[in-house]
Every structure is written in C-alpha cells, then in structure tokens.
C-alpha cells in the first residue's frame, strides 16, 4: 500500500508558556478527529513519506497515530488517493 504526505488543518492550543498542543485534526472535509492524548513529542524523520519535524505521538479513538509539524505545517501519512 502506497503512502503519501498529506498536509492537514490542525486545531492547536497554546499554554501560558507558549507550548503548542494539537487538540483536533481535520483529515478531510468529512473527517475531523479529536486527539485524546499526546504520549510523546520528539524531533524525528518520517521514513515512509519523507520529511523531518516534530513528531507527535497521538491517541485518537484508542489508536496510536503520528502527526508531524514541519516548517510551520502539519502532515500525516495517508493512503494515496486514487
């Protein structure tokens, strides 16, 4: 299965110290997902679709997913669109 880098809108909350925390992502017009929990944040490369940035390990609906913040934009690994 081929993967693509898909840039997506993300709703973010900033705390009083300026720390950024994503709280919801919009995969496409019909699918918005609330992020239940962030379990890890680290600088990492995305091996499958390329790119380097801050990788957020997120719990969404009981599943672990990665969300990257790269050069001011958010992306996820997604199945290629047909």
The DSSP symbol for 3 reads: E
Number of H helices, E strands in the chain: 0, 8
Query: pTM here?
Result: 0.89
Q: What is the mean pLDDT of residues 73-81?
A: 87
Structural domain harbouring 31: 3-79
pLDDT digits (tens, 9 = 90+) for 17-58: 999 999 999 988 889 999 999 999 999 999 889 889 999 999
Domain count for the chain, please give it: 1
Q: Cα(17)–Cα(1) distance, rounded to whole angstroms?
A: 41
């Amino acid at each position: 299965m081929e993967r693509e880098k898909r840039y997506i809108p993300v709703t973010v909350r900033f705390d009083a110290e300026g720390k950024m925390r994503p709280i919801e992502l919009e995969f496409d017009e019909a699918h918005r997902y609330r992020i239940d929990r962030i379990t890890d944040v680290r600088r990492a490369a995305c091996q499958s679709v390329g790119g380097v940035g801050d990788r957020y390990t997120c719990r969404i609906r009981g599943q672990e997913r990665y969300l990257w913040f790269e050069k001011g934009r958010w992306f996820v690994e997604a199945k290629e669109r047909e």
